[in-house]
A and B are shown apart, each in its own frame.
Chain A
Amino acid sequence: EAGVVQSPRYKIIEKKQPVAFWCNPISGHNTLYWYLQNLGQGPELLIRYENEEAVDDSQLPKDRFSAERLKGVDSTLKIQPAELGDSAVYLCASSPGDSGNTIYFGEGSWLTVV
């Protein structure tokens, strides 16, 4: 079974530039998550989708971050403009959607803003 696929794995950009990350969840998983992981810390939820609907985006900084999951499968997370403090790993994850089911993570997209 293919896991959660993310791209790009690594991205270096200058501050104020835009950046986008793509995620393909495990086939059949209705729930998709974007997590932010700073160095040495645990992942923090940015947004959760149930199919196409963003059901929890309370932690997403909406002034510069946006996300979409148009057909209920793949998702993109965009930052515009990027700031130095956005340097982190952006983890995509998916789960079948039932309460308490295992959440499977992708390898992450490592962002460095210079």
Chain B
Amino acid sequence: GENVEQHPSTLSVQEGDSAVIKCTYSDSASNYFPWYKQELGKRPQLIIDIRSNVGEKKDQRIAVTLNKTAKHFSLHITETQPEDSAVYFCAASTGSSYKLIFGSGTRLLVRP
């Protein structure tokens, strides 16, 4: 089955700097890759997603890139702000399974 690995487990950046979180997946049939942000005690919330027919997607300060050949995808946050501090999860699923497999999460801390 699908396996998703996520790195780093923790990331500390200065406010205004960029943050990059990387994930790799094992199932070449995976075609949908969302990223969720989870604040302490809150629900995971979708912040951006990408499908396998697209290499890059951007939404304001957030972007996701996908390399199907290498089976990895990354989340890029530019001009980080303290409110970006949270745990970020990547996930992958195949169209036939409708089943999201999550990475282990990255705890991002943005220092003021």
Instruction: Write the residues of chain A forming the contact surface with B, with a CB cutoff of 8 angstroms.
Output: 3-4, 31, 40-45, 48, 56, 91, 95, 97, 99-100, 102-108
In the complex, whether B104 has a CB less than 8 A from a CB of chain A is yes
Contact yes or no, B104 A42, CB < 8 A: yes
Q: List 30 A-B contacts (CB under 8 A).
A: A3-B43, A31-B98, A40-B104, A40-B105, A41-B105, A42-B4, A42-B6, A42-B105, A43-B89, A43-B100, A43-B102, A45-B99, A45-B100, A45-B101, A48-B98, A48-B99, A56-B97, A91-B44, A95-B98, A99-B98, A100-B31, A102-B49, A103-B34, A103-B46, A103-B100, A105-B44, A105-B45, A106-B43, A107-B42, A107-B43
Chain B interface residue count, Cβ-Cβ cutoff 8 angstroms: 27
Nearest residue, chain B, Cβ from A55 = B98
* Closest-CB distance, A16 to chain B (whole angstroms): 28
Task: Report A-chain residues with C-beta under 8 Å of the C-beta of B95.
Answer: 99-100
Task: Report A-chain residues with C-beta under 8 Å of the C-beta of B51.
Answer: 100
Nearest residue, chain B, Cβ from A102 = B46
- Given contact pairs A31-B98, A48-B99, enumerate 4 new A-B contacts (beta carbons under 8 Å): A43-B89, A43-B102, A45-B100, A99-B98
Instruction: Write the residues of chain B forming the contact surface with A, with a CB cutoff of 8 angstroms.
Output: 4, 6, 31-32, 34, 36, 42-46, 49, 51, 89, 91, 93, 95-105
Task: Report B-chain residues with C-beta under 8 Å of the C-beta of A48.
Answer: 98-99
Query: Which of B6, B44, B93, B99 gathers the greatest number of chain A CB atoms within 10 Å?
Result: B44
Q: How far is the CA of A99 from the CA of B32 in the complex (A)?
A: 9
* Closest-CB distance, A53 to chain B (whole angstroms): 13
Task: Report A-chain residues with C-beta under 8 Å of the C-beta of B93.
Answer: 100
Contact yes or no, A56 B99, CB < 8 A: yes
Contact yes or no, A42 B98, CB < 8 A: no
* Closest-CB distance, B107 to chain A (whole angstroms): 8
Nearest residue, chain B, Cβ from A56 = B99
Task: Report A-chain residues with C-beta under 8 Å of the C-beta of B42.
Answer: 107
